[in-house]
Amino acid sequence: MKRVLILRLSALGDVIHTIPAVVALKQAMPDADFSWVVESPYAELVGIVAGVRAVPVRLKRWSRKPFAFRADMRGAARAIRGCDVSVDFQGLMKSAGIGWLSRAPERYGFAPEAIRERGAVAFTNRRIPVDQSRHVIEWNLQLAEAVAPIRPVDVDWTAFPDDPSGRLARLGDRVVLLPGAGKPHKQWPADRFRDLAARHRDRALVVWGPGERGLAEEIGAEVAPETNLRELAWLLRHASVVVGADTGPLHLAAALGTRVVGLYGPTDPRRNGPYGQLDRVVSDYGGKRSMASIGVDAVARRVAELK
């Protein structure tokens, strides 16, 4: 049995964008055994939705305290050894390096012009060019196609959203606002979210992640309780519409089939927009590439079209 190692460690949106390619590979290679090296917070997601064995890692924590986590590191090292093929969907030194450490004879990755850390190609021996004018999901599908002849697939996300306690039930059918983003320059100003929330009064719900509680409270609308990833997925799936920047929860909402309004300034929505809903993006990428240039009225019009 051929053993295939998937490499996409983080972040949430990027993991979501990789899942269709992995599901397609699984269908193209039904007799292969798949493992996916991924940061621990996303291990359950890839296990349930992609249906592969997750190899959870915490590289930053491990690098700070290697002796404290040596058992976990050894376990991950054992899990990746003996693979026949590695596929690096991330294109970083750390991800490609893991493929090299796996000793896989065939190590696929993107061609150097398509990755941020070009030194990563030193660890791959199958370097695949992709059409960089396309969405990143299609980049990943092109990389997968080099490994095996894949066919289009529909990813089943329905098993993941969950609210076992029922504590979120009253928060369905809301205009969900996502004021946070992984990087400050991707955030839409809080006062713009506050204005948008005021236009929806009792229907607005602010959803937040780690370290974002204070920002959420600035918006002046009802703030959702702290959620785990499954509960977050439940809120997003049951929303009327989700408004947010280029961030993991926005991509999760789009994957779940919820209507979204994506706010894009410094990143190209053609590459990183909510897949399947690029026509619902409000973007300044063709102008100053600034989130501050996106006005509330333009966003409110998009929301009104989708409610």
Determine the Cα–Cα distance for residues 138 and 186; give it in Å rounded to an integer: 23
pLDDT tens digit string along 253-306? 999 999 999 999 999 999 999 999 999 999 999 999 999 999 999 999 999 999
Strands, sheet with 222-223, edge to edge from the N-terminal-most edge strand: 222-223, 204-206, 175-178, 241-245, 260-264, 281-283
Q: Which helix (H) or strand (E) holds 136?
A: helix 136-147
Mapped onto helix, strand or coil, the DSSP state of residue 203 is: helix
Q: What is the amino acid identity at position 189? A: P
10-23 pLDDT, tens digit each: 999 999 999 999 99
In whole angstroms, give the CA distance from residue 45 to residue 161.
10
- CB within 8 A of 10, min separation 6: which ones? 38, 39, 42
Q: At what angle do helices 296-306 and 190-198 cross, to 10 degrees?
A: 40
- Exposure pattern of 122-153 as b/e (b: 16+ CB <10 Å)? ebbebbbebeeeebbbbbbbbbbbbbbebeeb
Is pLDDT at 307 greater than 90 in this prediction? no
> CB under 8 Å to 95, separation ≥6 — which residues?
7, 8, 9, 37, 88, 89, 120
Q: In the structure encoding, which two tokens stand for residue 84, read together?
A: 């026949």
pLDDT digits (tens, 9 = 90+) for 80-119: 999 999 999 999 999 999 999 999 999 999 999 999 999 9
Residue type, 61: R
- pTM of this prediction exceeds 0.75: yes
Contact 7, 98 (CB under 8 A): yes
Q: Which two tokens stand for residue 301?
A: 């019009």
pLDDT at 227 over 90: yes
